[in-house]
Amino acid sequence: MARGSQWLFFKGDIDEHGGFEEDQAALWEGLDAALFLRDTLLKTTGHRIWGLTFTLYPSGKFNIEYDYDKPEGYEETDELISGEEINRSLGQLGTSEEE
């Protein structure tokens, strides 16, 4: 799972309304690139990144900062849950032992 956001920082002001890119596909491509970096870093270094900040400057230069701190309350597991198990659990929602 991943999510992305964008904002414009200009002359000390931050505009977080988005929509800075006319080609919406470019936004998805940026998120795909972040996912590629996340997966490749985990595979090659063994370290998981939990956040990535990409800064593009007017000069065309850029900076990438990685956050290696796991979010508080996040539980990791190697256990896989099958679609059948998920469906069975969802099917039990709203039912009670009284029925």
For the chain, the residue count is: 99
Report if residue 99 sits inside a domain: no
Rounded Cα–Cα distance for residues 90 and 39 (Å): 30
Q: Report pLDDT for 43.
A: 95
* Residue 41 DSSP SS3: helix
Report if residue 46 sits inside a domain: yes
Rounded Cα–Cα distance for residues 37 and 44 (Å): 10
Number of domains in the chain: 1
* Residue 2 DSSP SS3: coil
Report if residue 2 sits inside a domain: no
Q: Pairing between strand 13-15 and 51-56?
A: unpaired
Report if residue 65 sits inside a domain: yes
Which regions of the chain are under pLDDT 50? Answer: 99
Which amino acid, residue 25? A
